[in-house]
Structure 1
Amino acid sequence: MSKNIIYKGLRILIAEGRARQCLPLIRSFKKQGCIVAALCRSKLDVAYASRYTDKRIIGVCDDEKEEETTSQIRNLLKTGEYDIVVPTTDFIARILSKNKIEFSKYAKIASNDWEIFQLAGDKSKTMEICMKNDIPCPSTLLDVKCLEDILNSTIAFPIVMKPKVGFGAIGFKVVKSKEEMIKLSPLIHDYGSYVFQEYIPQTDIQYECAMFIDNDNNVKTSVVFSKNRWFPISGGSSTLNITVDRPDIIESCKKLLQLINWRGAADVDFIQDPRDGIAKIMEINPRVSGSVKITFDAGTDQGLQMIQLLLGNDVTDFNKYEYGRRLRCSQTDLLWFIKSPNRFKSKPSWFSNYKTRDQIFYWSDPWPYFAFSLSGLFRYKREMKKRS
């Protein structure tokens, strides 16, 4: 680790320790001289397995147990042992934002105010802001209350149906016709909890923009990377990313996040429409990107920026970054290779390792890779069921 110790002794709690973005964040915090603890649900969590984690806490950290997880975090913060708490998942970011006023009595919270978090986490509200401000996005129906609102709309089938609040491709469904929509209707108990929008053919590349905004609404990091492969192949988390030069995507992301007064790290998903070649916003992920390691490899440091923002210091500008860096999640990329009919047609080639880093593996810290692999095997069937 670097000898340039800037924030020596600062105590940081990472929640939760299973997320893959924990590893580059932990290394960044340690580089600044911080003491890092991680709240984990299992000894197979990557943060638990990392040699750089100073304190490992096994506790309740479960998206099916919100009240218990909230109590767990509250009890940890009330000990006074932590100066900063950093979320790595939507679930924990939601808890921190929802309880930010209370939790701020005990530590600095690296999550937005509840009102702003709700705005960013609701796909319908995100689309409404985009459409009202000429930010490219799929045409989306607003205020759908019943089946007739969909059938009588101007959006042609196929259409996309997905939960307003959620992440990844969980709950995502393509409805191909009015007849299929009518058949689905009895299963939809609350139309208001879903987003209904035009279907964009998934034959082009998807993108993410990792952005960091300071307290003066200035963009301090903007890194765009393509999602060249993903798993499940019908729609899921990226398995190969490449940093690219896309000022149009940066401008769309900047405009949206500044309009909602976002602060800190956010990750915005885009899909490039093959019909007009325009990259369109799909959703805001209200926390640091799961693929944040690629932004570190490209020359930025969102861990340092988090500390600077929360302590009221000037935030370092990292808007210049290296293009062509690649990040691969080898476990899920292997599954992509097994399942994809295009396994030998992928661009870049699945066999190419040019400028490629693994998302989990570090030679100096190898154990998280094996822990992540074992954990993934145990979770595989459950995750596929969620996305089906």
Structure 2
Amino acid sequence: MKILVNDGVRPSLGVVRSLGRKGIRVGVLAESSFAPVLHSRYCTRQYLGPAPESEGFVAAVLDILRRELETLTRVEIMDEAKIRLAADKRHTHELASAAGVPAPRTVYPASLRDALARAAELEYPIVIKPCRETHGETVRYASSPAELPAVYRRFCEEKGFFQDNLPMLQEFIPGYGCGFFALYQHGVPKRIFMHRRIRENPPSGGVSTCAESFFDPRLKEYGVRLLDSLKWHGVAMVEFRRDSRDHDFKLMEINPRVWGSLDLALAAGVDFPYDLCQVIQGKQLEYSEDYHRAIRFHWPIELVRSGRP
């Protein structure tokens, strides 16, 4: 069996190691020859190509598949329409409301003037973020009404947000981040995993620099409700914050892809990449939520990149 993995920086190395240890030949497509995953002992072929957000990415992937893989049998992903829905924060919050899953109070401005007016519906600090997943640093904070106009305008200019895709304004949830991770097979959950963030970069909410595996029945219930309602197929992460005020989980977003903290799931005994390969081969998986609790994983490189102590 041959697998082609796109370099997603953090998760790709864990994917390649997982599959390589099972004897699967893994090729990697990366934007730079300096990508660490290209130098793994388990990377059997190296390909350089455009970044996933570039126009030529799909053409590059198809070219590799035609040249290097004898037959392309199956591609195990959810259909494009549902991926777009899951990646759209406005839709996921509507989905959460229908499923009875708590979410932060959020407003979707139609203009800068509308943003300033509707911000009165929220308490400060206010979180400013795109409605759809965007590459790079994608969150800003306004600590007061006086600060909001400049922060919002500058964010729009930096990221190229216009009238049809203006950033949303959201209530800040004090507490810590939690993740619900799953592999679904045609609408049915087969693998379940959860973690809580111990440290993040930045501390107010960002990528994990240390996380710990744990299990919470209510977090599981919320995650399953959301992915069930999408009739999901493949892997996904549902991101929450545990609110320190009422101790409930509040939905942040759904990531319809392999997540950056995959290493922790692998260390805790949940081999999502290999299980997904089993699904690709047409095998029916048995349900499992069995994994080691209280396993911690650290990503010190993220702290080095940020320059934080």
TM-score with structure 2 setting the length: 0.88
Aligned length: 301
Q: What residue number does 2:167 align with? A: 194
Q: Over residues 211-253 of structure 1, what are the superposed CA-to-partner deviations in whole Å (9 max), with x where a residue is unaligned?
A: 11111x2211111111111223343311111111211111111
Q: What residue number does 1:11 align with? A: 2
Summarize the alignment of residues 16-95 of structure 1 with structure 2, pairs less than 5 Å apart: 16=7, 19-57=9-47, 59-63=48-52, 66-79=54-67, 81=69
C-alpha contact 1:164 1:193 (8 A) present in aligned 2: yes
Q: Over residues 21-54 of structure 1, what are the superposed CA-to-partner deviations in whole Å (9 max), with x where a residue is unaligned?
A: 2233223323443221111222321221101111
Q: What residue number does 1:371 align with? A: none
Runs of 4+ in 1 over 6 A off after TM superposition: none
Q: Over residues 285-337 of structure 1, what are the superposed CA-to-partner deviations in whole Å (9 max), with x where a residue is unaligned?
A: 1112211121122122112221122232102433111111111113234677x
Q: Secondary structure at the match of 1:280?
A: strand
Q: Determine if the alignment matches structure 1 residue 322 to structure 2 residue 299.
A: no
Q: Over residues 146-176 of structure 1, what are the superposed CA-to-partner deviations in whole Å (9 max), with x where a residue is unaligned?
A: 2454424633333211011225872211223
Change (3 A) 1:304 1:107: same
Give distance in 2, aligned partners of 1:289 and 1:250.
Answer: 17
Q: What residue number does 1:310 align with? A: 280
Q: CA RMSD in A?
A: 2.4
Q: Secondary structure at the match of 2:265?
A: helix
Which one of the candidate residues 209, 225, 235 is aligned to 2:180? 209
Give distance in 1, aligned partners of 2:6 and 2:151.
Answer: 37
Change (3 A) 1:185 1:31: closer
Q: Secondary structure at the match of 1:56?
A: strand
Give distance in 2, aligned partners of 1:273 and 1:235.
Answer: 13
Change (3 A) 1:294 1:82: farther
Q: What residue number does 1:354 align with? A: none
Which one of the candidate residues 112, 123, 143 is aligned to 1:176? 143
Q: What residue number does 2:267 align with? A: 297
Which one of the candidate residues 126, 132, 146 is aligned to 1:159? 126
Q: Over residues 55-112 of structure 1, what are the superposed CA-to-partner deviations in whole Å (9 max), with x where a residue is unaligned?
A: 112x223255x112222112112226166xxxxxxxxxxxxxxxxxxxxxx4522332
Q: Determine if the alignment matches structure 1 residue 339 to structure 2 residue 304.
A: no
Change (3 A) 1:236 1:186: closer
Q: Determine if the alignment matches structure 1 residue 244 to structure 2 residue 214.
A: yes
Q: Secondary structure at the match of 2:16?
A: helix
Q: What residue number does 1:235 align with? A: 205
Give distance in 2, aligned partners of 1:260 and 1:172.
Answer: 26
Change (3 A) 1:48 1:80: closer
Give distance in 2, aligned partners of 1:307 and 1:82.
Answer: 17
Structure 2, unmatched stretches of 5+, are: 157-161
Give distance in 1, aligned partners of 2:148 and 2:78.
Answer: 37
Change (3 A) 1:175 1:169: farther
C-alpha contact 1:272 1:279 (8 A) present in aligned 2: yes
Give distance in 1, aligned partners of 2:17 and 2:138.
Answer: 34
TM-score with structure 1 setting the length: 0.71
Change (3 A) 1:82 1:165: farther
Q: What residue number does 1:274 align with? A: 244
Give distance in 1, aligned partners of 2:14 and 2:134.
Answer: 21
The one-letter code matched in structure 1 to 2:189 is V
Which one of the candidate residues 244, 247, 257 is aligned to 2:227? 257
Which one of the candidate residues 74, 77, 82 is aligned to 1:116? 82
Give distance in 2, aligned partners of 1:209 and 1:82.
Answer: 36
Change (3 A) 1:177 1:333: closer
- Greater fraction of residues in strand: 2
Q: What residue number does 2:94 align with? A: 128
Which one of the candidate residues 111, 120, 127 is aligned to 1:146? 111
The one-letter code matched in structure 2 to 1:36 is V
Q: What residue number does 1:94 align with? A: none
Instruction: Percent identity, please.
Output: 25
Change (3 A) 1:40 1:288: same
Q: What residue number does 1:373 align with? A: none
Q: Secondary structure at the match of 2:43?
A: coil
